[in-house]
């Protein structure tokens, strides 16, 4: 599930936060951010069972964790386009999954 938050801090750069990203999509999203001149501000693994357990690196057993990533950029258009591509990728994966289940 994607939850995003757009912030305007000091009118210098914009941030967007993606929550609960699948582990398989993380390298794709990081490469996409780099391609569109976005910076990864924060990447964290948050436990689904204990709210106070948060790592800034991938734990050994990442099964019970959700991945959150925050991107920043000086142009909000780049962030909106990254979000658009991410949404389309999730829709395409959902569509292909339903086709497989038929």
Condensed to tens digits (0 to 9), the pLDDT of residues 20-50 reads 898 889 999 999 999 988 999 899 999 888 8
6-97 belongs to which CATH class? alpha beta
Give the integer Cα–Cα distance in Å for 13 and 7. 8
pLDDT on residue 69: 92
- Phi/psi region, residue 37 (left: phi>0; alpha: psi -120 to 50; beta: rest), is left
Tell me the pLDDT band of 8, cut-offs 50, 70 and 90. Answer: low
pLDDT on residue 31: 94
Does residue 66 contact residue 19 with C-beta atoms inside 8 Å?
yes
Tell me the pLDDT band of 53, cut-offs 50, 70 and 90. Answer: confident
């Amino acid at each position: 599930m994607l939850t995003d938050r757009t912030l305007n801090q000091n009118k210098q750069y914009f941030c967007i936060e993606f929550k609960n990203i699948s582990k398989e999509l993380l390298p794709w999203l990081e490469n996409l951010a780099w391609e569109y001149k976005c910076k990864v501000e924060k990447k964290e693994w948050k436990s689904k069972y204990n709210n106070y357990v948060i790592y800034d690196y991938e734990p050994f057993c990442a099964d019970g964790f959700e991945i959150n990533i925050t991107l920043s950029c000086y142009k909000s258009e780049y962030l909106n386009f990254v979000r658009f591509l991410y949404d389309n990728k999730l829709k395409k994966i959902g569509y292909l999954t339903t086709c497989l289940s038929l």
